[in-house]
Structure 1
């Protein structure tokens, strides 16, 4: 087979073009950190990595949602612990007031403190985060309780007595606490109504009525304790889920790097070698092309 100058020139130009393409590929791999930048580079690896990246995005959304929900649970936990302390104090004062040895002045002091504790519970019931009432159920824009003259009544409608839920992985995790959960007894009385009766009974010295309301106070305290335990349990579960999701994201990221990640030291070395090869090819071709023109003129 006869080798012509034209064939040599064409082959040299082809090699130069391939070298340019390879250099651009290496540059892209170094700048993006990925060896597969489009499906055509490697369909199998591109498909696997695309699925894992999509999965990571979803898991990271779940992780953010869990963090936001846990920050709300902190407010629930703080408010419920404070309610627990307040209800314990109310019970202590109620037991003291039922003692026949209490003087009128003692009873007045107890009644005054009960009124202060009632006001404190009113503020706790209307606890807000970012302008939203945490005990409002489905109506977070409406104060859960309101004042009517000297009384405090539940303002959240019964149909809004719905606990907040966090949807994760096709399940709804119930984490909210409503005003009905911790400010109302099983029989339908509110802690504020019980306190109004207690204050009146303490001021009048009706020990029989005071003792009768101790059972209602116990019911409120038990509900607060139960919801405090539930909040703690949900927080522990969410923390466990967050940790698990973070591990999965880390594992997926490692797999993605193995599939399409650029080996930077090797890529830099290959690029340097490719540039050296290209320079040598250009010099060689520069010597070949003029000879081809001379031959062509002859």
Structure 2
């Protein structure tokens, strides 16, 4: 079969154009450090990389959510710790107040301390988080739980609720991200403090009522301590979840590197072969193109 000059020229030019395209792709890979510069380079690997990218994005969001919930529980743990300390002090004061031989002056001193503890409790239960939301108000985060009147009366906000909120911290996994007044026995604490303050302010306290207040303070201390332990356990659970997310993130990154990271040793060798082959092809084409019948005369 005879090949015309135009056919030969077109074939050689097409081959060199293809080689130039492949060389350009290789140079782009070396510049970016990635084997896949466009989906057509490896469609199957591209689909896998898209899946890994989605996984990494989701894990990143889950880690952000987890850190946010953890920060919230650390704040709850701190606030509830002050409640526990306040109730421990209350128990000691009530045991002292149950001493029937105390003078009116001694009881007045206890009343002052209990009133101070009550004020501190109001401040704790009205605490806000870093976003300016009330921590113990359930889903009514813009509502202050209590108002303390000048006469010491504690007025609860009826808009506050005991509903919980959840945050996604994993695939199909959500964690409660708040604690409520019910979790820390807040209303019972104020009822107990009001009873104790009232009786100890009387010339002759009702010791039976004081013993009842003391029993309630012990019950509230148990509830608050349990809530504090719960907050600590949630922090530990989140730490484990964050560790799992980190391991998954590292695994996904390793797979991404395996699929897309360029080996510069292999690329350099391939580049040398490309350049050599292209130069040889161009030289051959130039020599053949310059031949004519006059060279044989």
Which bracket does the TM-score occupy, shorter chain normalised?
0.7 to 0.9
The corresponding residue for 2:60 is 60
Mark the runs of 5 or more structure 1 residues left unpaired by the alignment.
none
What is the rounded CA distance, in whole Å, between the counterparts of 1:241 and 1:294 in structure 2? 81
What is the rounded CA distance, in whole Å, between the counterparts of 1:286 and 1:109 in structure 2? 109
What is the rounded CA distance, in whole Å, between the counterparts of 2:293 and 2:159 in structure 1? 97
C-alpha change, 1:93 and 1:272, in structure 2 (3 Å) is farther
**1:157-196 equivalences in 2 (<5 Å):** 157=159, 160-167=161-168, 168-184=170-186, 189-196=187-194
CA contact (8 A) 2:119 2:148 kept: no
1:132 aligns with 2:133: yes
Q: What's the C-alpha RMSD, in Å, of the aligned pairs?
A: 2.5
User: Normalising by the residue count of structure 2, what TM-score does the alignment of the two structures yield?
Assistant: 0.87
The corresponding residue for 1:201 is 199
What is the rounded CA distance, in whole Å, between the counterparts of 2:102 and 2:286 in structure 1? 113
Q: How many residues align?
A: 289
Offset of residue 25 of structure 1:
1.1
What is the rounded CA distance, in whole Å, between the counterparts of 2:137 and 2:68 in structure 1? 18
The corresponding residue for 1:49 is 49
Ranked by relative contact order (alpha carbons within 8 Å, sequence separation 6 or more), the top structure is: 1
User: Normalising by the residue count of structure 1, what TM-score does the alignment of the two structures yield?
Assistant: 0.86
1:74 aligns with 2:78: no
Q: Deviations over 1:231-283 (max 9, x none)?
A: 11221111111111211121122112212222234324433553454455545
What is the rounded CA distance, in whole Å, between the counterparts of 2:189 and 2:185 in structure 1? 5
C-alpha change, 1:100 and 1:287, in structure 2 (3 Å) is same
What is the rounded CA distance, in whole Å, between the counterparts of 1:230 and 1:292 in structure 2? 90
